[in-house]
Structure 1
Amino acid sequence: MAPSQKVFVVGVGMTKFIKPRDLRDYPDMGREAATKALLDAGVTYDKVQQAAVGYCYGDSTCGQRVLYQLGMHQIPIINVNNNCSTGSTALFLARQAIEFGIADCTMALGFEKMEAGSLGSKFEDRTNPLDKTVSMMSETRGISAGPFAAQIFGNAGIEYCEKYGATPQHMAKIAEKNHRHSALNPYSQFRDIYTLEQIEKSKSVFGPLTKLQCCPTSDGAACAVLASEKFVREHNLQDQAIELVAQSMATDSPKLFNESSIELAGADMTRRAAAEVFAKAGIKATDVQVVELHDCFSANELITYDALGLCKPGEAHKLIDNNDVSYGGKYVVNPSGGLISKGHPLGATGLAQCSELVWQLRGWCGERQVPNCKYALQHNVGLGGAVVISLYKKADLGTSPKYVDSRKRVGYNPATEAREVSEEEVASVCAKQSSQFMAHL
C-alpha cells in the first residue's frame, strides 16, 4: 500500500543530558520529555493515538510505565530496542502510522538510564547479536583490550586514512568542532571548549581515538509529537510544523562482511538509506544546510560525510580542511555538539537529533542558529545493525490567525534554555483518563 499522508513534527522536548549518577530515573526523565513535547504542540496526551517508545537498557514495557503517568487512554504503546538507532526507530514507527493513515497524532519517545563507563553485554548466557561482527574484526584488524565500539569505529577511521589520505588530526578536528558547538547547547552533557592540542593529547582510547573524541554514556530523554496535515490545520499548528519530508531505515547487506572496516561500521546502510531519502525528496545531499550526524566517535563522522553524499567518495577530510562542516561553511554538522559532547543516552539520541533540527528549522536556536535553513538531515546508526536517515523542512502550510507561539505558552525558549517541568505543566497535558496512583514518581 502506498503512503498517502504527509507527516509533520508539531512538538519536541528533551531533558538535559547528564552523566550517569543515579540522579534521575527513567520514569522522571521520560515524563519530562513527553510533557515538553506536548506543551510545545499545545495538545494534551488525549490527542495521541499511538506511541512508540525506545530504550536499550531496561525491562519490558518501560514505555507504559512512563506514559501511564500522563494518562491511561488505552492507546497502542510499542516498546523499541534497535541499539543506538533506537530513538529514530521509534520515530520511524510513529511516522509510518500517520503516513499510512492509521493515526492523525502519534508520539515517539526515547530515554536511557545508563551505567558509567564503556558499554558491555548484559546477557552472558546467550549469543551476542554482534558475535559475527566481532569475528570479522578479529580476522581483519585484530582485537585489543580497548572498548569494542571504539575498536569498530576506530578501525573504520584508520582504513579511511589508509585509503584516502586523511589523517588522525582530521578526526581530532571533528571533535574540536563538536565540543565548540556544544558550548552553546543548554542540553549538552559537556559544554567545555577544547583546543585541538588538548583533544589530541587527552587519554588514548584506541588507535587514533582519544577520550575527547568518544561519546560519553549519559542519562536523558527526548520526545517528538507527529501529526497529519488534517491534525495540524485543526489545531492551528501550521506556523511551527516541520515536515518530515522523507525517511528511510536500512539494515546490513552482505557488504558488512567484505573485510572492510568501513563497511563493518555500517557505512553501506547509510549510503543506501541516504540515497533512498534524497530520491524520495527529489533533492541532493548538497541541498542540505544542517546535519545532525551520529558521531559516536569522531571516526564515524569522518566516514559518514561521503556515505551521506555530502562530498565525493574519499574526500571527507577536504570538507574539514575547508571548514565546510561548521558555521560559515557549506554545511553545519552537529550544531548541538553531537554525541561526542551533547551525550549519548542510547534511546534518546535519535529524538534529541530530531528536536535540534526542528528548532533549527523554526529559527529558534539563538547563538547556535544555522542561517538560511531550508533542509535538515538526520543520521542515526546502531551496530547490529540499523540506520535511520530523516529529512526535514519547514512546512509549507501557510499561517493560522489562531496560532499561539509555544514559547509564549511556556514562558521561555526551549531551544536556548533547558528547564525541568513543573507539576502544574505535567497536569496540564495529562489525558482525561488518568490514574492518580500513576501520577506520583
Structure 2
Amino acid sequence: MSNRVFVIGVGMTKFEKPGRREGWDYPQMAKEAGNKALEDAGVTYDAIQQAYVGYVYGESCSGHRAAYELGLTGIPIFNVNSNCSTGSSALYLAAQAIRSGQSDVTLALGFEKMNPGSLGTTFDDREQPMGNHMQLLAEISEVRFPPAPWMFGAAGREHMEQYGTTPEHFAKIGFKNHKHSVNNPYAQFQQEYTLEEILGSPEIYSPLTKLQCSPTSDGSGAAVLASEKYVDEHGLAGQAVEIVGQALVTDFMSTFESRTARDIIGYDMNVHAARAAYEQAGLGPEDVQVIELHDCFSANELWLYEALGLCGEGEAGKLIDNDDTTYGGRWVVNPSGGLISKGHPLGATGLAQCAELTWQLRGTADARQVDNVTAALQHNVGLGGSAVVSLYQRAER
C-alpha cells in the first residue's frame, strides 16, 4: 500500500519575457521560487531529503547548481528533462519518493531561461527526439515551420474537418485565458483582448493566431511535498493539499499507427493519463471545479476538453459556446491565464500549475478564486513524449 502525498508549500516567480530582468539567471530564478515554497511550507532546506529539479535548456547538472542556491546538504538531486512536461515530471518523481516510503519531505523545482522567439534545436548532429512524430505529420499534413504551431495547428484543423469546429472556437479559448490572466500578478501578460483582436492578430498557422500561442518565458516554480506522517507530526493539515491521483504516461503505438495529428500531439497519452488518475482518486471530471491544463496553443486546450472527459468526442465547440470553462460555467479552466497568457518557461510550467491549484484549494487565489473548490485537476504534456495528470483535494477531506 502506497503512502499518501501532500503538497505543503508552493512558490513561483513572475514569468517574464526572456532577458527582461537584467542579471536574472536560472540560479536566481530557482532561489526565488524555492525559497517561497520552503517559506510557505514552514520548513528549511535542511528538512528536504530528495530534490527533483527540471529544466529543458541547459548544461548537465544545472539542476544541482539551481538547488545549491537553497542549501548544500548532500541530499540526492535528480535532473529532470521531459520537454514541456518537465515540471510535472519532477513533481511526479518527488511524489513517488514519498509514496514508496523513501522520503518524508521532497522538493520539486523547475526553471527555464529561454531564448526569444520560436523553439529551436540545440544539437543538430544527431537524431531529433521528435523526428518520428514530425516525419509522420509531414505525411498527413503540409509541412510548416516553426514545428510547434504546425503540429498543434494541424490537430486544430483536424478537429475542424471532423466536427465542424470554427476558428472562432479556438479564438474564444485565447480570449478566455488572456481575460483570466488580468488577475494574475505572476503572469507574463496581464492584458485582456476582444475576440476580434484575438482573431485579427497575426496568423501563425491557421487556425492559430499569435494571441492563441504560448510565448517563450523565463521563470521558476517549486513545490514541497510531504508524507502523511510528516503532515500530522507538524500540524500542517490546514495548509496541505493531497495529491489523490497521479499518472505519467508516455507514447503508445497508436501515436503513430492512428495517423492522426491529434495523437501525434498526445491525445491518446492524455486520455490514458486522465483515466488512470481518475481511477486512483475515485473521482471524475464532474467532481472537480478548477483545472489547469496545457494550453500551449488553443488547439491543444480544445482537444484536451475531450481527452480529459469534460465532454464527448467532437463536443468541445459546444462546451466553449456554452461558456462552460470559465467563471460561472461548469469548470474554470486555466484561471491563471494558462500557458497562453501566464507564460511557458518549460521546466517551470507544471509546478506553476501545481501552485495555482494549491492556492485555489486553500481559498487564497485572490481575484482568481473559484467558488467552492473541493477538487482540482492538473494536466501537463510534453511531446516526444509524456503526459502527466494529477488530481488534488484539501487535506481535511
Which TM class, normalised by the smaller chain length?
Answer: over 0.9
Aligned to 1:4: 2
Q: Identify which of 11, 14, 25 aligns with 2:12.
A: 14
Alignment of 1:299-338 (within 5 A): 299-338=299-338
Q: Could you list the per-position Cα deviations for residues 202-241 of structure 1 after superposition, in whole angstroms to 9, with x for gaps in the alignment?
A: 0110011000000000000000000001111222211000
SS at match of 2:304: helix
Higher Cα radius of gyration: 1
Aligned pairs for 1:34-433 (under 5 A) are 34-144=34-144, 146-257=145-256, 258-396=258-396
Moved over 4 A (4+): none
Residue 27 of structure 2 aligns with an amino acid whose one-letter code is P
The 1-side partners of 2:331 and 2:278 are apart by 16
| Number of equivalenced pairs | 394
Deviations 1:176-200 (A, max 9, x none): 0000000000000000000000000
Mapping 1:21-40, distance limit 5 Å: 21=19, 23=22, 24-40=24-40
Deviation at 1:147, TM superposition (A): 1.5
2:223 aligned partner, one-letter code: A
**Which residue type is aligned with residue 349 of structure 1?**
T
User: Post-superposition shift, 1:255?
Assistant: 1.2
Which amino acid in the other structure matches residue 30 of structure 2?
A: G
| Cα distance in 1, alignment partners of residues 110 and 78 from structure 2 | 12
Residue of structure 2 equivalent to 1:437: none
Residue 379 of structure 1 deviates from its aligned partner by: 0.4
Q: Distance in 1 between matches of 2:210 and 2:2?
A: 46
AA in 2 matched with 1:117: G
Q: Deviations over 1:14-33 (max 9, x none)?
A: 00000001631000000000
Q: Distance in 2 between matches of 1:64 and 1:212?
A: 35
CA distance, structure 1, for counterparts of residue 247 and residue 363 of structure 2: 25
SS of 1:53's partner is strand
Distance in 2 (CA, whole Å) between partners of 1:304 and 1:68 is 37
Shift in Å, 1:163: 0.9
Please tell me whether the aligned partners of residues 53 and 67 of structure 2 are also in contact (alpha carbons under 8 angstroms): no
Q: Please, what is the CA RMSD of the aligned residues? A: 0.8
Q: Matched residue of 1:239: which SS?
A: coil
Moved more, 14-23 or 199-208: 14-23
Alpha-carbon separation, structure 2, partners of 1:251 and 1:27: 30
Q: Deviations over 1:275-299 (max 9, x none)?
A: 0011111121111100001000000
Instruction: Please report the TM-score for the alignment, with normalisation by the length of structure 1.
Output: 0.88
Deviations 1:49-71 (A, max 9, x none): 00000000000111111221222
CA distance in 1: counterparts of 2:242 and 2:194, whole angstroms? 37
Q: Distance in 1 between matches of 2:26 and 2:69?
A: 12
User: In the aligned structure 2, how far is the partner of 1:69 from the partner of 1:186?
Assistant: 24
CA distance in 2, matches of 1:139, 1:360: 43
Amino acid across the alignment from 1:59: E
Measured against aligned partners, the alpha-carbon deviations of 1:363-418 in whole angstroms (never above 9, x if no partner) come to 00121100010110000000001000000011127xxxxxxxxxxxxxxxxxxxxx
- Letter of the 1:240 counterpart: Q
Partner deviation per Cα, 1:248-272 (whole Å, 9 max, x = no partner):
0000111111211111110000000
| 1:156 partner letter | A
Instruction: Give the Å deviation of 1:329.
Output: 0.3
- Unaligned ranges ≥5, structure 1: 398-441
Note the alpha carbon deviations across 1:113-142, whole angstroms, 9 max, x for none. 000000011110111011111111110002
Cα distance in 2 between the residues matched to 1:161 and 1:17: 32
- Which digits, 9 at most, give the CA deviation of each residue in 1:306-344, with x for residues without a partner? 100011111111110100000000000000000000000
Query: C-alpha separation between the residues in 1 aligned to 2:134 and 2:68?
Result: 39
Say which SS state the counterpart of residue 176 (structure 1) adopts.
helix
In the aligned structure 1, how far is the partner of 2:175 from the partner of 2:2? Answer: 43
Secondary structure (helix, strand or coil) at the match of 1:393 reads: strand
Aligned equivalents of 1:108, 1:372: Cα separation in 2:
28
